[in-house]
Amino acid sequence: MKKTLLTLSLLAMVFVSFGQTFDFGVKASYNTTKFNISASAIKSGFTNGSGVNFGAFARLGGKKIYLQPELLYSSKTATYTISNTLGAVISTSDVKLQTIQIPLLLAMKILDLKVASLRAFTGPAASFVTNGSMKNLASQIKDNFTSNNMAWDWQLGAGVDVLKFTLDMRYELGLSELKSATMDTFKGRTFTVSLGFKFF
């Protein structure tokens, strides 16, 4: 992962030096997330929850291939259930997770028209936990996430630009695990739809 970030950083410097594009904008997103918990002695699982992202992005590089760094506040939710061997639910918890996320995406324009363009992108994202908890709905006991948690994800997706507006759809796959104070570690899978506006 460090080698990937170094490579993308070098590409960014090349694009800034020789590129023809610099864009800056803001965006807001809706996400749906499902977490996968690590091996457990009892049957358990997460159901999808919804959340929001908002922040800023930049585009550095050429007209067709460019680098897109982003700085986002991300909020994700999910429901965690534990079942017995017969499949009956014996415990339900609400999961809430807030992070500062820094994606570093390499993008390519697939179709470029005068007023609209189609693009694809992929790259790593670092997420830093600012707040989070897993609250049991019956006992009201909370299992908090540690604030020094940091996780890596990989993102890929496609988007459309129309004039100064951008519309993105992306899939985010957890590469490293998050840890709560007492629960098993787990990874997330997130689907996100974003709407943005480029100032220049």
Domains of the chain, CATH where assigned: 2-198 (2.40.160.20)
Percent of the chain at pLDDT > 70 equals: 70
- On the question of pLDDT at 36 being above 80, the answer is no
pTM for the predicted model, two decimal places: 0.80
Q: Residue type at 15?
A: F
For residue 192, the surrounding DSSP H or E stretch is: strand 186-198
Summarised one tens digit per residue, pLDDT across range 83-127 is 666 666 667 777 888 899 999 999 999 999 889 999 999 999 999
The closest alpha carbon to 124, from 73, 70, 168, belongs to: 70
Measure CA 194 to chain center: 11
Q: pLDDT tens-digit profile of 14-24?
A: 555 445 678 99
| Angle of CA points 195, 199, 200, to nearest 5° | 125
Which residues on adjacent β-strands are paired with residue 68?
105
Q: 168: number of CA atoms within 13 Å, CB side? A: 28
Secondary structure (DSSP) of 101-138: EEEEEEEEEEEE-SSEEEEEEEEEEEEEEEEEEEEETT
Q: Which among 152, 141, 57, 143 has a CA at the least distance from the CA of 97?
A: 143
Maximum distance among all Cα pairs of the chain, rounded to whole angstroms: 63
Nearest Cα to 57, choosing from 49, 65, 67? 67
Q: What's the CA gap between 183 and 100, in Å, rounded? A: 22
Band of residue 41 on the pLDDT scale cut at 50, 70, 90: very low
- pLDDT value of position 176: 82
Over residues 158-183, the pLDDT tens digits come to 999 999 999 999 999 988 877 766 55
